[in-house]
Structure 1
């Protein structure tokens, strides 16, 4: 079949303000949700609008299909221009939100039109090579190199060719995707009153707010978060969403009126955190339903670095600021006395992770042993002697995690009684090099190899009713890395960073979970990575003991003589209330 390469139709118009309804820090989009704007005003202030041409008089079938594909990049008025290429019947059945195919426009091709015998209709096939897809939930996933065929049927309408049958969804070229669609974190519940972000993508259109609320309320967490995140909206539907100057009003089905006070409180929290609006009003049959204050446990760590470092007064452990250490009661003395280079254990620390309440530290030493340090009584004991395990991670519920270096897919957890429990998952991995559990305890980041390709994988952590880990979900996605990773860290609630060091060169892959990633190349050789602070995503420990913090695209030195860069798995058990 002869194929024609596509060409762009129409022009791009850059508007004045950004339309973005996102609570995700660091995601590749601009602007913030402005509750003072109505949906009509918000559409007029769209940050980027593509103005495609409608069907030309006398256009041939191939031109109609090409024009339809191009018009799929304009969501204004519910893809009004794209629908002009369809027959009246097809206009009512075609669903542009069913699927988004992100592709390279240069790889699009359209075949020859195959006319029916009577000449009044026919078929034509377009071929695209997806780089990513977004499903009907708004979930973004990378795609392979396989070609996707799109079959179209056309017929004559008043002497002009129109599409009578088109695949649901739209095709968007990769370079335009983030100008037309924007990421949005939907917030769900995890154990112990923590919130879990689930990033989705929505068109920059007047129906954006309504689609976000509908996905939050009616579809729940993504399948990969099964038994890791939960919703308070079970059995409840959205009737209407209205955005006013100072608030958002969400009309819910009558089942919402039967919700308990605790359930209504969490419903209110999910809406408020997702929309990033304090005043979100829930109504049933036009009457407001009230909710008490909700209890939410913060997952934000202390913004200060935590390290084992050499100071003017000797080796010290604690919060590290401007070359000085602020000790942590019950932990600092034990860690220095036992696990400093000249410590009593004669086995220096290579990694340290500290619990949110600062009462527990897990120390990995040069011999490969893992030690449990208890701040309450100053005790320390070995709970794992084997070297064939990754550096440990400590989750928010007190479970220590590690993965076997030689037996891919074998994970192990230990509770506070030091009892081990084997977990199996991520069978597509042939090697594992590093792991870290997210601060909400609902997700895990794993680096290793799959099909001999270095990769980063994010999966859900399945737990039982007591929050004990019982397994891992299928991956949210598999992200390729430029080389084998030595470390991985959650640097925000929606972003993971993998550190690759090869031939004296460091590459950091910062990956937004459910979105696109960024490649960073510091000028020094790094040894470890952890989260930064509210102004910066990452901290890096260089091989000469210098500590660096990311400043946009550069790295600013924030200290030196660091021996071990530690990680705190969250904030002390502080809560906030959401009205």
Structure 2
């Protein structure tokens, strides 16, 4: 619970620890408290149990500066209304200026109050350094922004103020926003995807943000209402240039007086009352608004969401949409369709294992030149409609596109790399949900990211803004919605993972396509060797942390970690593939075990001993 203290258990912190012991009555009752034995302060950021409730304790009379600082850090980790108890550690002026909702600074572990420094004549009181390892910031839009881990050092200042109980120590200067250790952040917050439409298209794009696990201390909204409000507030700044909301600008909730939460009725219908900004929208627009809410809420609520009903400010119905109706807006319009698993077999042919196949089922070579031996296949990307594939030759120098459902001819290569050596040629290709094909030419003399519109037109170089600063693209994976791209970039012998935004300008028939504003997606990993999209805002990566061993793990596209996201039991992994449908098994290539897969709730299963380069469509 609460903030880390390296001092000998101030009274406020000890009382908070005792209260936490009893707070478990919310779950399974509270055993009687022992009346003997020592009381120890609990170091909060050692665990992240989202069911634990931390109750803040106000400062006692004549509390020492140490107790004020540690008590305040503790109180910041609670769900106390408007952080009233945390504010009781501040002077009135400091409390008035403090805006905990504006940002959250996340440290690797709970902030450590360093050795205090006495004030000077011109600045009396006590100053405490707050020390830690900065790993991320959450902004006012609830967007998580990882940073390269660095030393954190800020100052908190105390002075003595006169009050009804005489002079008392209080904090009069402090860092902006909340300051939390990683596990306190995980206990208090949860990731949720807001959904917007890709610009000019009726395709949903996930915009991950963090909301409170329980009621928000400032707004007193529950998680469902927080998520809907965040959706109405609009997309985060990073995603905003490539998405649109169907809600009229400025639309807000119109909750009844005294209420803070949206409600489900007995038919699992979520009723969402909107203000006057939305009262005049037509049915087509209203249905798209409802779809945005359905996608945002469907995985958040413990109740089974069946429908969303949007209401005008006067309470009359705008429109109703069911869960099934919204699926037409899924990124590649194939939500719920089982994807086949593909790989390059031991004879360098493209083979598939049908969705739902068992361990004993034999893989089949695909129809056409990629499956009949006319081309030795080195790497492959299968179009999302599973009618075509793009294959790189065994020496990675040539890229071909051909049908995998009919026995077509092997046409000339659509791209040829002149790179010297197999490692300096073409990457594995990737298809987005628009049907465009992407590949990187790793030739050191002419490195380029290329796109073939609809997988058939002439390849065009894609400009990366502001540039790669000398890094080389090793791997390319484009999202199903077509507006985000994952790139493995190598520089100075280290390969890192970054996510870029895909922008299209100009006419729809001949747009200028750029990748902009690359941001780190796995800053906690020293090197990343393989990546695949694994859902609307989730990736599966293979890599190592500094000084660690190889891991296969899930991460969010915003760079935050997924609880229990590390997948044990597999070594020497060279490539990995996941479906956009998160219920489908993970597939990987291990030098030890060949092609293996991991179904939900099971262990790794070997599919084929001889094979490489597993992929799902995309």
Alpha-carbon distance in 2 for matches of 1:231, 1:102:
30
For residues 355-366 of structure 1, the aligned pairs below 5 Å read 355-366=383-394
Structure 2 CA distance for partners of 1:473 and 1:288, relative to 1, 3 Å: farther
CA displacement, residues 95-135 of structure 1 (integer Å, 9 cap, x when unaligned): 2111112222364426325266697x776653443222211
Whether contact under 8 Å (1:55, 1:85) holds in the other structure is: yes
The residue that corresponds to 2:329 in the other structure is: 296
**Pick aligned residue for 1:238 from 252, 267, 271:** 252
Deviation at 1:432, TM superposition (A): 2.4
RMSD: 3.7
Whether contact under 8 Å (1:140, 1:200) holds in the other structure is: yes
Structure 2 CA distance for partners of 1:553 and 1:371, relative to 1, 3 Å: same
Q: Which has the higher strand share?
A: 1
Deviation at 1:351, TM superposition (A): 1.7
| Structure 1: gaps of 5 or more residues | 19-27, 31-45, 338-342, 571-579
**Pick aligned residue for 2:577 from 507, 530, 539:** 530
Q: Does 1:216 align with 2:258?
A: no
The residue that corresponds to 2:286 in the other structure is: 264
Count of matched residue positions in the alignment of Structure 1 and Structure 2:
529
Alpha-carbon distance in 1 for matches of 2:536, 2:494:
26
Q: Which has the higher contact order (CA 8 A, sep 6+)?
A: 1
Whether contact under 8 Å (1:227, 1:463) holds in the other structure is: no
Alpha-carbon distance in 2 for matches of 1:217, 1:49:
29
Whether contact under 8 Å (2:475, 2:487) holds in the other structure is: yes
Structure 2 CA distance for partners of 1:208 and 1:112, relative to 1, 3 Å: farther
SS at match of 2:316: strand
Alpha-carbon distance in 2 for matches of 1:118, 1:548:
65
Deviation at 1:149, TM superposition (A): 1.3
Q: TM-score, normalised by structure 1?
A: 0.80
Alpha-carbon distance in 1 for matches of 2:287, 2:488:
37
**Pick aligned residue for 1:418 from 451, 457, 461:** 457
CA displacement, residues 454-491 of structure 1 (integer Å, 9 cap, x when unaligned): 31112222224639571123134342475654432112
The residue that corresponds to 1:225 in the other structure is: 239
**Pick aligned residue for 1:548 from 596, 599, 607:** 596
**Pick aligned residue for 2:209 from 192, 197, 200:** 200
The residue that corresponds to 1:349 in the other structure is: 377
The residue that corresponds to 1:134 in the other structure is: 138
Whether contact under 8 Å (1:236, 1:253) holds in the other structure is: no
Whether contact under 8 Å (1:402, 1:435) holds in the other structure is: yes
The residue that corresponds to 1:378 in the other structure is: 408
For residues 461-500 of structure 1, the aligned pairs below 5 Å read 461-464=502-505, 466=508, 470-480=513-523, 484-500=527-543
For residues 58-457 of structure 1, the aligned pairs below 5 Å read 58-103=62-107, 104-105=109-110, 107-109=112-114, 111-114=116-119, 126-143=130-147, 144-152=149-157, 154=159, 156-158=161-163, 159=166, 160-190=168-198, 192-206=201-215, 207-209=221-223, 210-218=225-233, 220-241=234-255, 242-246=261-265, 247-276=269-298, 277-291=305-319, 294=326, 295-297=328-330, 298=333, 300=335, 302-309=338-345, 317-320=351-354, 321-322=357-358, 323-324=360-361, 332-337=367-372, 343-345=373-375, 348-368=376-396, 369-374=398-403, 375=405, 378-381=408-411, 382-386=413-417, 387=419, 388-405=425-442, 406=444, 410-415=448-453, 416-425=455-464, 426-428=467-469, 430-449=471-490, 453-457=494-498
Q: TM-score, normalised by structure 2?
A: 0.75
Q: Which moved more, 1:159-168 or 1:137-146?
A: 159-168
Alpha-carbon distance in 1 for matches of 2:80, 2:491:
41
